[in-house]
């Protein structure tokens, strides 16, 4: 598996933070669900966490993700 680009890592983390399932994230990113799972395991290792909730929290702590304004019409 090629090294994930930072943009891809953040794109997947944004979907996870928004509550997307692996299947939903795969569809949005045009990749397989197995690839999403593989990428998440890679992300967990990079962030030093063990699950998706901790990955999102750590991404916010590191400034990789920022909260969306509540009035954003694109928000689910």
pLDDT tens sequence across 1-34: 455 678 888 999 999 999 999 999 999 999 999 9
Predicted TM-score (pTM) of this structure = 0.81
DSSP label at residue 73: T
User: Which are the contacts of 36, defined by CB distance < 8 A and separation ≥ 6?
Assistant: 12, 22, 25, 26, 29
C-alpha dist (Å) from residue 49 to 8, 52, 55, 71: 18, 8, 6, 31
d(CA 71, CA 13) in angstroms, rounded, equals 21
The CATH class that applies to domain 6-61 reads mainly alpha
């Amino acid at each position: 598996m090629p090294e994930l680009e930072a943009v891809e890592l953040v794109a997947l983390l944004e979907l996870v933070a928004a509550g997307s399932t692996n299947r939903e994230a795969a569809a949005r990113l045009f990749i397989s669900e197995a690839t999403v799972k593989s990428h998440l395991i890679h992300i967990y290792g990079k962030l030093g966490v063990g699950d998706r909730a901790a990955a999102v929290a750590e991404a916010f702590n590191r400034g990789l993700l920022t909260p969306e304004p509540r009035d954003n019409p694109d928000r689910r």
